[in-house]
Amino acid sequence: MISKENFEKFIKKSLKDRTFFIVTNREPYIHTKTPDGVKVTKTAGGVHTLLDLVAQASNAIYVAHGSGNADKSVVNKHNIVPVPPKTKSYSLKRVFLSKKELENFYYGFSNQTLWPLSHAVFVKPEFHASWWKSYQAVNKKFADAILEEIGDKPAFVWVNDYHLALVPKMLKDSGKNIKVGTFWHIPWATYEIFRVNPWGKEILTGMLGSDFIGFHRGYHVQNFIQCVQRMIEAQIDFDQSHITFKDHISKVESLPAGIDYQEILEIKKEATSTLKKQFNREMGMNIEYLAVGVDRLDYTKGLIERFKMIDRFLEKHPEFQEKFIYYGIMPYSRIHIPVYRNYAKAVTDLCDKINWKYSRNDWEPIQLNLEGMSREKVITYYKNADLCLITPLDDGLNLVAKEYALSCEEESGMIVLSKFAGAANDLRHALLINPYDIEQGADAIYQALIMPSKEKKERNMKMREDLKSKNIYQWAINFIEKTLFE
């Protein structure tokens, strides 16, 4: 297993005099005003946890949108603040956006055009020239922020996700000595879907400024290459997975992200294993089976389908009533977008309906936490839960699945996982379902809960072997090597 120390050595040896940059829209640390002064919090979950660790191990310059209401007050004249608060091991350079830019770039083109266009969940993307104009302008702001820090030195830039598709070309066009690797964390649509985007060609050529483009799954790579083949004049070497566009070569490959194996185990070690007892004591219940789910409240996550599966499971197996509880950690997300607001309402309404249907003696089957919680607490839930329900209708990877597979107790935990999550390919020993098939989902919940401990242990241990060898540092090394050397 590659450790943090090995990764640090690798960075020194391979990047030599190149300054290392990571660029994402969402920042890893947010400063907010509170009655007790300015408070700094870590962005919860997913890819931000991973990139924060990569940045810490490499003393990177991390460029991201400053979204906290105290963010401006703590940066220097170059908009930089050292983070994490204790170790200050890397520099966070903030890009500040106006309300209009936020509306058009983030809520508009990123999350109402590219997000629904990329996920096959039948939510219609919207196309507005003003959003596109803002997307271009904001991408330029991010590229300029990087170029300002690069000066005349050679650099390596890790571009992250769909908010910043134009940044790679902008960096290359500067003529500076920059290696650019782009990781697209969400699915890439088929040509028949992608072609409706009036600015699809510009998105593709923007990304082809990269030396390497990574996706989580092989079919995302195939879809991307097909879009290039049908939409722009580029040479494609299918064997090598190389695209040559205007004399520049981009390598395109799947490279599913790993998790911070060691760090998770350390948190797990400290976490209590008596959560169910505490639950029962505090709430006067008699729960034997705890199921958990951790998702942003997003229409791609299959939350309606998940609740329907729980309902059907309790209908078919009434002996689990009053003994089973589902705890959903489900923070609100992108709530200014109408489809998210409507979805949040539909999800919470359905939860009320199901709880009303079954409620008895103070027991309700579904409990929701709409705020989110610290990583330590989430891992405590994972450790204690007999089941994790992960039911996206389409998902680039889904890191929760990998985190739960490692954090649960191997003899009692089990995952019910949508086969439409990229992680399903790496977690073949989970119980895989089609989230649209409610009956199958309900049966999988039952199967997970009655599965003998021996079988659970075997399945969980097999999944963990892979998680250990392909951990986050290994993932980052592969990404950097492919961008630098191949």
Q: Which of 446, 170, 186 is nearest to 320 (CA)?
A: 446
Q: How many helices (H) and strands (E) in the chain?
A: 19, 18
In angstroms, give the least distance from the CB of 279 to ligand G6P. 29
Strand segments (E) across 51-190:
61-65, 80-83, 90-95, 155-160, 178-183
- Residues of this chain, 320-339, that bind ligand G6P according to CB under 6 A: 333-334
Alpha-carbon span 42 to 58, nearest angstrom: 18
Contact criterion met (CB below 8 Å) for 5 and 475? no
User: What DSSP string describes 99-124?
Assistant: HHHIIIIIIIIIIIIIHHHHS-S-PP
116 near ligand G6P, rule: CB under 6 A: no
Q: Shortest Cβ distance from residue 427 to ligand G6P (Å)?
A: 18
The least distance separating ligand G6P from the CB of residue 16, rounded to whole angstroms, comes to 29
Judged by phi (left if over 0) then psi (alpha if -120 to 50, else beta), residue 16 lies in left
Helices 261-270 and 399-407, packing angle to 10 deg: 50
Which CB atom, from 121 or from 314, has the smaller least distance to ligand G6P? Answer: 121
Nearer to ligand G6P, 209 or 396 (CB): 396
Q: What is the total count of residues that contact ligand G6P (CB under 6 A)? A: 8
Q: Which of 29, 30, 46, 470 binds ligand G6P (CB under 6 A)?
A: 46
161 lies in the site for ligand G6P, by CB under 6 A: yes
Q: How far is the CB of 257 from ligand G6P (least distance, A)?
A: 11
Give min distance, CB of 434 to ligand G6P, in A. Answer: 22
What residues from 174 to 203 belong to the interface with ligand G6P (CB under 6 A)? 185-186
Q: Which of 4, 6, 26, 190 binds ligand G6P (CB under 6 A)?
A: 26
What amino acid occupies position 275? L
Residue from 435, 351, 369, 476 nearest 119 by CA: 435
Cα separation, 259 vs 143, in Å, equals 28
Extract the tokens encoding 14.
């391979």
Minimal CA–CA distance to 438: which of 327, 321, 307, 331? Answer: 307
Asked if residue 397 binds ligand G6P (CB under 6 A), the reply is: no
Please check whether residue 225 is in contact with residue 252, taking contact to mean a CB–CB distance below 8 angstroms.
yes
Rounded to the nearest 5 percent, the helix, strand and coil shares of the chain are 50, 20, 35
Give the shortest CB-94-to-ligand G6P separation in angstroms.
15
Residue 254: exposure state from Cβ atoms within 10 A (0-12, 13-18, ≥19):
middle
Tokens coding 51: 């990139």
Could you tell me the smallest distance in angstroms from the CB atom of residue 117 to ligand G6P?
14
Nearest distance in Å: CB 226, ligand G6P? 22
Shortest gap between Cβ of 299 and ligand G6P (angstroms)?
13
Least gap, CB of 70 to ligand G6P (angstroms): 19
Give me the residue label for tokens 């489900």: 330
Distance CA 81, CA 109 (A): 28
- Contact letters (x/-) for ligand G6P, 352-371, by CB under 6 A? --------------------
Question: Strands 90-95 and 80-83: what pairing?
Answer: antiparallel
Work out whether the CA dihedral 131, 134, 136, 139 comes out positive or negative: negative
CA 45 to CA 35: how far, in whole Å?
A: 26
- Least distance in Å: CB of 440 to ligand G6P? 26
Binding site for ligand G6P (CB under 6 A): 26, 46-47, 161, 185-186, 333-334
